[in-house]
C-alpha cells in the first residue's frame, strides 16, 4: 500500500499528465524537448512536520518541484501558455481529490539556456506546496 506522500505525489503527477506538454516524474532530462514542452515532477522535500498529539497526526507542507521546459523560436509564448496551464490544472481541484488540504504553486523564475546547435531552452523550476496530514511519518 503506498504511503500518503506517494499517493499525493502520484495524484499531482496525474493532474499534470493531461496537459499538452509531456509530463514525467523523477526522470532525467531527455535529449530532445517535445514541441509542446516538457514537465518533470520532482518529489522535493516534505520538511519538518507540525505534530498534533490527540489524535497523533503529522502535518506536512511538502515542497515538490515541477521543472518546466520549452524550446523553439516562440518559446516565450509557449512557456507562458505552459505555466498558465499548470496553474489552471491545479486550480480545478486544490485538494487533489481530497488527498491534500491545499495545493498551491509558487511563481516560476524562468531562465533562457543556450543549446549548442539548436534553439535555446526556456526553463524554470516551479515549487508546488502540498499541505497534507498523515498518522505516521513513514506511512
Q: How many domains does the chain have?
A: 1
Domain region containing 104 = 4-134
**pLDDT, tens digit, for every residue of 85-100?**
999 999 999 999 999 9
Which whole number is the average pLDDT over 2-13? 96
For residue 139, is it within any domain?
no
- Could you write out the DSSP letters of every residue in the chain? ---HHHHHHHHHHHHHTTSSSEEEESPPPPSS--TT-EEEEEEEE--PPEEEETTEEEEEEEEEEEEEEEESTTHHHHHHHHHHHHHHHHHT-TTTTTT-SEEEEPPP--EEEEETTEEEEEEEEEEEEEEEEESSTT-
Q: What is the CATH number of the domain that holds 78?
A: 3.30.2000.10
Claim: this prediction has a pTM higher than 0.85: yes
Residue 17, in any domain of the structure: yes
Amino acid at each position: 500500500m503506498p504511503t500518503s506522500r506517494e499517493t499525493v505525489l502520484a495524484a499531482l503527477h496525474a493532474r499534470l499528465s493531461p496537459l499538452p506538454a509531456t509530463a514525467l516524474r523523477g526522470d532525467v532530462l531527455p535529449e530532445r524537448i517535445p514541441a509542446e514542452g516538457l514537465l518533470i515532477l520532482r518529489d522535493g522535500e516534505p520538511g519538518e512536520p507540525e505534530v498534533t498529539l490527540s489524535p497523533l497526526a503529522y502535518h506536512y507542507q511538502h515542497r515538490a518541484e515541477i521543472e518546466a521546459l520549452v524550446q523553439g523560436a516562440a518559446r516565450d509564448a509557449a512557456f507562458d501558455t505552459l505555466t498558465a496551464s499548470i496553474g489552471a490544472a491545479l486550480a480545478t481541484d486544490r485538494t487533489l481529490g481530497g488527498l491534500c488540504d491545499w495545493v498551491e504553486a509558487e511563481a516560476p523564475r524562468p531562465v533562457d539556456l543556450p543549446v549548442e546547435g539548436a534553439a535555446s531552452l526556456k526553463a524554470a523550476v516551479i515549487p508546488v506546496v502540498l499541505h497534507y496530514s498523515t498518522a505516521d511519518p513513514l506511512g
